[in-house]
Structure 1
Amino acid sequence: MIESTVLQIFKRRLPSARRRAVAAATIAALILTAAGASAQQATPSTTPPAELGARIEKLVKEHKGKATVALKNLKTGETFSINPDEPMPTASLIKFPVMVEAYRQAAEGKIDLNAPVTLRKKDMVPGSGVLTYHFSDGATFPLVDAVHLMITYSDNTATNIVLDAVGIGSTAATMEKLGYPNTKIHSKVFRRDTSVFPDRSKVFGLGSTTAGEMVKLFEALQAKKLVDEKSSEAMWKHLLTCDDKAKFPRFLPAGTKVAFKTGSVDEARTCAGVIETKGGPVALCVMTNANEDQSWGDENAGNVLCAKTAREVYDYFTAKAPPSPTAAASSGEAAATK
């Protein structure tokens, strides 16, 4: 790459002395950039980002309710957290682990994601989603479509259809085997009578997890280590289509890629996923509970906390990103021609 860049410089119509100066400055810039990138890859930093941590702590302190946070830059290894091991209610965030269980069982041949499922009127429950309000009793579609609706639109009826296929208790059992003992879905949505963890249902509602476990789960997914590579890629595509723009995506620059899932109930707002930044992908989880603001709408305080935290993360790691070789070369050339 250095050779081709220097060759382009010598092809330009500049005095020979000028060309030598520009080439020397460009080579120096490219070497420094390459060395910095190599060092960063060889020795990832795990030092907590103090400046970012202070900003997030301020946001959490100002929030009127309980909040936990965990993050990890999956390129540099930098981490920060606030009470990452405290179990919290998930609301619909727990649908992400349910998807993992569906793909695990499919990979093992226990279920067929392409097999048709039939929507029955008795399956229809209220709340988020499209099946209850826009599909007819008897509608038939592949199980994988129910998984997609469960993630993209947080469809409650679709979630219950998926749970019928995989079993309510199987998600918790798999999460525990993988090292996520606090990550459990307790029952079907709006069907507390189906709870397999009645005591936890009373405390946490639909599901429970910790911010730390969510970050580790998304880290494993981003590394394509959940189930298998093909399943990980399929799950990632589902998460890229999540339509809740009031949380992580809200304040991010247009076009920022975020693979994520959210949850919302009166007292809690949750969000977890991976945000692409110029400084590397960052796994982030923000969970809130006992919120004073229980309104429904984008301006809900829990939503705003999720959105502001995501923007702080994006800005911090983007600002820290080393310049690209092209930018470094251009800077070196500009300095040499002054």
Structure 2
Amino acid sequence: MAFARIDLSGTLGAIAFLTLLASFAAADEPTLESRLKPLIQAHKGKVSVAIKNLETGESFLYHEDDPMPTASLIKLPIMIESYRQAEEKKIDLGEMLTLKQSDKVPGSGILTDHFSAGAKFPLVDAIHLMIVYSDNTATNLVLDKIGIGSTAAFMEKLGYPNTKAHSKVFRRDTSVFPERSKKFGLGSTTAAEMIRLCESLQKGELVSKEASEAMLKHLRACDDKDKFPRFLPPDTKIAFKTGSVDSSKTAAGIIECGQGPVAVCVMTDENEDKRWVADNAGNRLCAEVARVVFEHFKKDKEDAPASK
């Protein structure tokens, strides 16, 4: 077998040699798919993943169009519908709400255990609690103002027919989609629809630029440390929302990487590991996917490979 002989003398020879080495290194560099597929295939449960670099367009999709249970991830679309109604003057984000004992429901959040009946706060604070602490009582207060079916109606108008809030939290009797509630619980969506929503939010296209930025501010304060942020540097900027029930763990949002913002959605269901601990398999998959995404897109924009 004959090999091409490269003249290494002079500047041009050195450049040719370095170019050759770079091509070999690029060929050996693992792809996003080769990094993610083993993690997904090792998970004992159903998985749906969608990832898109919003700068280069490079993406990874896995069962991205399968409708999945959202758990509390549906609170992100509920927030979007709330800001739409506020923009159209149907609701007032400054309206003062009064917490009643009958409003309190169990699960995540702080209102039920730490606020007394009769406490007053503006609607925008209920939205903030809904996103940051995934507060279930706050979510129901928001739904009382915007209407349970309104989120699904607006999502369908935007082109997201699978994204639906079904009922109030821990109030299955309020479901406006009874059959979907039986199958998916609180809400449903697809990974593909979630990253499209995240992309529109990042671009300032949801409701208005001002509303989009306000919503991103809520999402940047999300306090779930067990999913996307777990293996990332502490100063990583992430705007995201998560969800957890016994058999489903979900997360979606925008991770700021070296190449720019990347929209990521990880959804799991029928998980064998149903433990309520930080290291359960669903949480860990969300965290591992976020780490792979951050490392894969860590290069500066000028050094990034061309989009595939």
Secondary structure class of the residue paired with 2:274: coil
CA deviation map 1:92-111 (0-9, x unaligned) = 00000000000000000000
CA distance in 2, matches of 1:319, 1:311: 14
CA distance in 2, matches of 1:241, 1:198: 32
CA distance in 2, matches of 1:230, 1:279: 25
CA deviation map 1:41-76 (0-9, x unaligned) = xxxxxxxx9711121111000001010000100000
Residue equivalent to 2:92: 112
Query: Which of residues 30, 41, 65 in structure 2 aligns to 1:85?
Result: 65
Query: Which of residues 220, 224, 230 in structure 2 aligns to 1:250?
Result: 230
CA deviation map 1:97-135 (0-9, x unaligned) = 000000000000000000101100000000000000000
Secondary structure class of the residue paired with 1:128: coil
- The one-letter amino acid paired with 1:61 is Q
Secondary structure class of the residue paired with 2:154: helix
Does residue 296 of structure 1 match 2:276? yes
CA deviation map 1:148-175 (0-9, x unaligned) = 0000000000000000000000000000
Residue equivalent to 1:16: none
Moved runs in structure 1, 4+ residues, more than 4 A?
none
CA distance in 2, matches of 1:52, 1:189: 36
Unaligned runs of 5+ in 1: 1-24, 26-48, 325-338
Residue equivalent to 2:15: none
CA distance in 2, matches of 1:128, 1:254: 24
Residue equivalent to 2:219: 239
Residue equivalent to 1:209: 189
Q: Structure 2 matches for 1:317-332, cutoff 5 A?
A: 317-319=297-299, 321-322=301-302
- The one-letter amino acid paired with 2:113 is Y
Secondary structure class of the residue paired with 1:318: coil
Residue equivalent to 1:128: 108
Query: Which of residues 156, 167, 180 in structure 1 aligns to 2:136?
Result: 156
C-alpha displacement of 1:79: 1.1
Does residue 74 of structure 1 match 2:54? yes
CA distance in 2, matches of 1:54, 1:91: 29
CA distance in 1, matches of 2:279, 2:98: 37
Please give the TM-score of this superposition, normalised by the length of structure 2.
0.88
CA deviation map 1:199-250 (0-9, x unaligned) = 0000000000000000000000000000001100000000000000100000
- Number of equivalences: 277
C-alpha displacement of 1:319: 3.5
Residue equivalent to 2:34: 54
Residue equivalent to 1:35: none
Unaligned runs of 5+ in 2: 1-10, 12-28
C-alpha displacement of 1:315: 0.2
Secondary structure class of the residue paired with 1:117: strand
CA distance in 2, matches of 1:318, 1:144: 35
**Largest Rg, 1 or 2:** 1
- Change in Cα spacing, 1:50 to 1:194, as seen in structure 2 (3 Å) is farther
Once superposed, what is the RMSD of the aligned Cα atoms?
1.4
Residue equivalent to 1:168: 148
Percent identity of equivalent pairs = 65
- The one-letter amino acid paired with 1:305 is L
